Amino acid sequence: YVTHDQTEAMTMGDRIAVLKDGVLQQVGDPRELYDTPNNVFVAGFIGSPAMNIGSFQVVEGGAQLANTRIPLPREVLSKIVPEDRGHVTIGFRPEALDVVTQAHEGAIPIKVVLVEELGADALAYGELVMAGAAAREIHSGAGEAQIIVRVDPRTPPRKGDTIWVAIKPGELHAFSASTGDRLN
């Protein structure tokens, strides 16, 4: 069965093959593709809303997001090659983020531009609070320079609020900045 609808594939398929320009990217069950995408293409294609993905400079063993350094596992750091030019592409799903206080270690500031209230669920769409061009390096299903956060539907933030989020342990996906291949 062939479909271009990833939601249909995830709900109907026991095994899914993801193709890009006629080239096989990954084959696996829906959970495998969602939890461990082989590359940036699969990571951005599988899941709704889409994974937040961005390329960031590696500084002192971590990816520099806004004013926060996100520590990277040694296995990831050891796989960064000269072609990556000191950058790593990281991804995290909207539900992989916890809303935290500004004082929380690893807190990332997000300025909320839209809140989508869905009853039992709510999604905050926002921008990384950081200087200039660096903010445009992240994208999601919402577009360039946007990040999506699943938030508490009972107490969602409001447009214009700055919220602080942290990536849950084990939920960071790392990819080569030059090839897009998975590093962890």
Q: Which pTM does this prediction carry?
A: 0.89
Domains and CATH numbers, the chain: 1-48 (no CATH), 49-176 (2.40.50.140)
> Each residue of 112-163: pLDDT tens digit?
999 999 999 999 999 988 754 444 467 676 566 689 999 999 999 999 999 9
Q: Choose among 99, 103, 181, 87: nearest CA to 138.
A: 87
Comparing 66 with 97, the larger pLDDT belongs to: 97
> Each residue of 23-74: pLDDT tens digit?
999 999 999 999 999 999 999 999 999 999 999 999 999 999 878 899 999 9
Per the CB < 8 A criterion, the answer to whether 37 and 16 are in contact is no
Q: Choose among 40, 149, 145: nearest CA to 88.
A: 40
Task: Give the burial class of 100: count Cβ atoms within 10 A of its Cβ; 0-12 exposed, 13-18 middle, 19 or more buried.
Answer: middle
Distance CA 82, CA 75 (A): 16
Local structure of 182: helix, strand or coil: strand
Please count the CA atoms within 13 angstroms of the CA of 126 that sit on its side-chain side.
25
Task: Give the burial class of 43: count Cβ atoms within 10 A of its Cβ; 0-12 exposed, 13-18 middle, 19 or more buried.
Answer: buried
